[in-house]
């Protein structure tokens, strides 16, 4: 079983790295890019015997308490069987 956690900056929190990436993308010739936001992606491998609902609860807690800072970031948890 695998868990995927996506961490992104909350709307409104300045993302200077995203802005710099957007600028580079535009220099490459792409137009019509309204915004770029940079985030983080984590893969967590779980023992196959783990209960899916329990795994979701555990990974959600890990995402909330370690992987993200709730003051500036949101997270999204996906569990893959």
Partner 1 sequence: MKFGIIVFPGSNCDHDAYHVISKQVGQPVDFIWHRDTDLKSFDALIIPGGFSYGDYLRAGALARFSPVMDSVKKFAASGGFVLGICNGFQILCEAGLLPGALIRNRDLSFICEHLCVRVETSDTPYTNEMTPGSVLRIPIAHAEGNYVCDDATLAELQREDRIVFRYCEPSGAVTEATNPNGSRDNIAGICNQSRNVLGLMPHPERACEDLLGSSDGRDIFRSLAATLAAA
Query: Strand pairing of 39-45 and 73-80?
Result: unpaired
- The distance of closest approach from Cβ of residue 24 to partner 1 in the complex, given in angstroms and rounded to an integer, is 12
Q: Three-class SS of residue 43?
A: strand
Sites of contact with partner 1 (CB under 8 A): 13-17, 20, 66-67, 69, 71-72
Contacts of 45 (CB under 8 A, 6+ apart): 1, 2
- The distance of closest approach from Cβ of residue 34 to partner 1 in the complex, given in angstroms and rounded to an integer, is 20
Rank residues 20 and 33 by Cβ distance to partner 1 and give the closer one. 20
Rank residues 33 and 66 by Cβ distance to partner 1 and give the closer one. 66
Q: Three-class SS of residue 46?
A: coil
- The distance of closest approach from Cβ of residue 13 to partner 1 in the complex, given in angstroms and rounded to an integer, is 6
Judge contact between 39 and 6, C-beta under 8 A.
yes
Rank residues 14 and 81 by Cβ distance to partner 1 and give the closer one. 14
């Amino acid at each position: 079983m695998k868990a995927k956690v996506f961490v992104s900056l909350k709307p409104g929190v300045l993302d200077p790295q995203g802005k710099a990436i957007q600028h580079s993308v535009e220099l490459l010739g792409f137009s019509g890019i309204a915004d770029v936001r940079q985030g983080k992606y984590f893969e967590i491998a779980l023992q196959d015997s783990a209960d899916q609902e329990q795994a979701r609860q555990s990974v959600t807690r890990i995402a909330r308490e370690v992987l993200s800072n709730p003051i500036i970031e949101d997270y999204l948890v996906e569990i893959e069987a």
